[in-house]
Amino acid sequence: MAGSMAREGDMTTGHGSYPPAIFLPGSSLCQKATIEGKPMLTVGARCGPHTSPSPSPTLGVGGSLGYIIQGSPTCEVTCDDGVKRKVARIGDSLDCGCKIVGGATTVGGGANG
């Protein structure tokens, strides 16, 4: 089964005391590859900053700026720097502990799991 592909403007789950975050404009490494009019996300793209309301956050005062570490096992795209990267989908993980929860309504790719 295919997973919906992620794009700029989609959200993450948050992690621990850190709230959900959005993939901000410019966060895609593939600005020329779009899905539903938004640049697609790949392994290596960073989500927007999210800070913890906890008085002693685990990641320090600067907050978390997680990057995508998991993508489709079968779908890759050549990014603006010429490097092929795995396409990110709903459910894929970031290094900070978040998962992607938003994605395209018309385009999916790769096996979930």
Is it the case that residue 20 has pLDDT exceeding 60? Answer: yes
Q: What is the pTM of this model?
A: 0.84
What local confidence, expressed as pLDDT, does residue 54 receive? 67
Structure-block tokens of residue 30: 């593939």
Cα separation, 19 vs 49, whole angstroms:
10
Least confident window among 65-69, 84-88, 90-94: 65-69
CB neighbours of 50 closer than 8 A, spacing ≥ 6? Answer: 12, 14, 18, 19, 20, 21, 63, 64
Phi, psi of 89 (to 5 degrees): -135, 165
Q: What is the mean pLDDT of the chain?
A: 85
* Domain ranges, ordered by start, for the chain: 1-104
Averaged pLDDT for residues 32-48: 94
Does residue 23 register a pLDDT over 90?
A: yes
The answer on pLDDT for 58 being more than 90 is: no
Q: Which CATH number fits domain 1-104: 3.60.15.10, 2.60.200.60, 3.60.21.10, 1.10.1740.10?
A: 2.60.200.60
